[in-house]
Amino acid sequence: MQLLLIDGNHIMYSVLYRFIAKAKKRGDYEEATDEIVEKTASQFAKIIKKLARRFRPTHMCVVFDNDATNFRHQLSPIYKANRRERPKEVHPLKQRIYAQFREENIPYLFASNHEGDDLIGTLAARAEELPRCKKVILLSGDMDLAQLVTPKTQLYLINNGIFTGSWVTDRNVKSLLDVGPEQIPAIKSLLGDRTDNIKGISGLRRPNVLRVIEKYPDIEEFLQVEKSKNKTEALILRHREHVENNLLLARIICDMRFHLRWEDFLVSAWMDTGKKPDGTQAASAEGRPPRRRKPTAAKTAAQATADAAQQVNDPPVTDGAELQAEASGQDAAPAGEAKKRKRRRRSRKRKPAAGNSDQM
């Protein structure tokens, strides 16, 4: 089992803003709302199918954010308040995408009072519990999902284009962020996050915070300490409640409770993977069998050696005519000699007689 979890909001907004920019450049943005929604939904579905073909998962799900507020807004009223207002096309666009996905049986999820990251974290955690799960791929442009990275779970971070990105794994996440996946919420709660409008502690410096996190990998245990040993620790402990609240904002929830059937996420249920149910390769669309791959040089040499060994060990196989000729003491005439004789007879019949040519 290989699971692909796609951050639908990130891809949807990137496609939507592209069509909005084109409409504004033409000068008909106000009248082109329906056209923008239709084109964005169609392009979004094509991108999802291309991603499924590229990564070739056995199971896949597209996860969306809920447009309404969630529990994080109740913890902090300024949470994500610095972001620009959503375009007017977002709500009808999501409804159009949901309808198209239901029609084509493409699995998608969204949850009330939670973000899409929480759904992705829960799905990834449940998939890792399965013994048959080999890999979980998270596809997003949000580096916050790096806190979900494990030996089984990898993040494909989208850069400029949707189909161009870089891998974030448990091996390179520390070199990218200076901390491990488990410490990402801690460093966000102490230094803040401009993207989500999480306010950090004023006066903290990143090198000092990294030293504290290195000394106390579990920041919640450090918050229970009564006495501090330096100014940085004292500053953090004075804002203990603020840090605890920020941890709730920054940490992705991985234990949401909802009914889950992995059969509903099968890619083969809605996309032709080119394989039969028994695992063999199916014929192409034109009805022709698939092309066979040319054997490599090493394979050809090995096959020739095997054939030579087989020829030495086994006696040559002869047909019935050769056996009969050997029994009668005569050599079997090759097929080429018989054809030559027929040609000679035909040529003799076609040649005119010598007497007739003299008379003429």
Asked whether residue 303 is domain-assigned, the answer is: no
Asked whether residue 57 is domain-assigned, the answer is: yes
pLDDT at 188 over 70: yes
Q: Are 145 and 253 in contact (CB under 8 A)?
A: no
C-alpha distances in Å from residue 129, one per residue of 169, 225, 262: 19, 34, 13
Confidence band for 284, pLDDT divided at 50, 70 and 90: very low
Asked whether residue 299 is domain-assigned, the answer is: no
Would you give the distance in Å from CA 340 to the centre of its chain?
64
pLDDT of residue 320: 41
Asked whether residue 212 is domain-assigned, the answer is: yes
Confidence band for 59, pLDDT divided at 50, 70 and 90: very high
The CATH number that applies at residue 85 is 3.40.50.1010
- pLDDT of 68-111, one tens digit each? 889 999 999 999 988 888 899 999 999 999 999 999 999 999 98
φ and ψ of 163, to 5 deg: -95, 10
Which among 26, 162, 40 is positioned nearest to 89, based on CA atoms?
40
Asked whether residue 281 is domain-assigned, the answer is: no
Asked whether residue 24 is domain-assigned, the answer is: yes
- Distance of alpha carbon 96 from alpha carbon 294, whole angstroms: 46
| 150 Cβ contact partners less than 8 Å away, ≥ 6 residues apart | 128, 170, 181
| 37 Cβ contact partners less than 8 Å away, ≥ 6 residues apart | 89, 92, 93, 96
The tally of domains found in the chain comes to 1
**How many Cα atoms occupy the beta-carbon half-sphere of 354 within 13 Å?**
0
Q: Domain range spanning residue 194? A: 2-269
- pLDDT of 14-29, one tens digit each? 999 999 999 999 888 8
Q: Are 86 and 67 in contact (CB under 8 A)?
A: yes
Q: Are 12 and 140 in contact (CB under 8 A)?
A: no
Asked whether residue 68 is domain-assigned, the answer is: yes
Cα-Cα-Cα-Cα torsion 56, 61, 67, 71, nearest 10 degrees, comes to: -120
Average pLDDT over residues 235-253: 93
C-alpha distances in Å from residue 137, one per residue of 128, 157, 184, 257, 307: 11, 10, 19, 21, 45
**Burial of residue 36, with CB atoms counted within 10 A of its CB: 0-12 exposed, 13-18 middle, 19 or more buried:** buried
Asked whether residue 13 is domain-assigned, the answer is: yes
- pLDDT of 118-133, one tens digit each? 999 999 999 999 999 9
Which among 57, 169, 161, 45 is positioned nearest to 97, based on CA atoms?
45
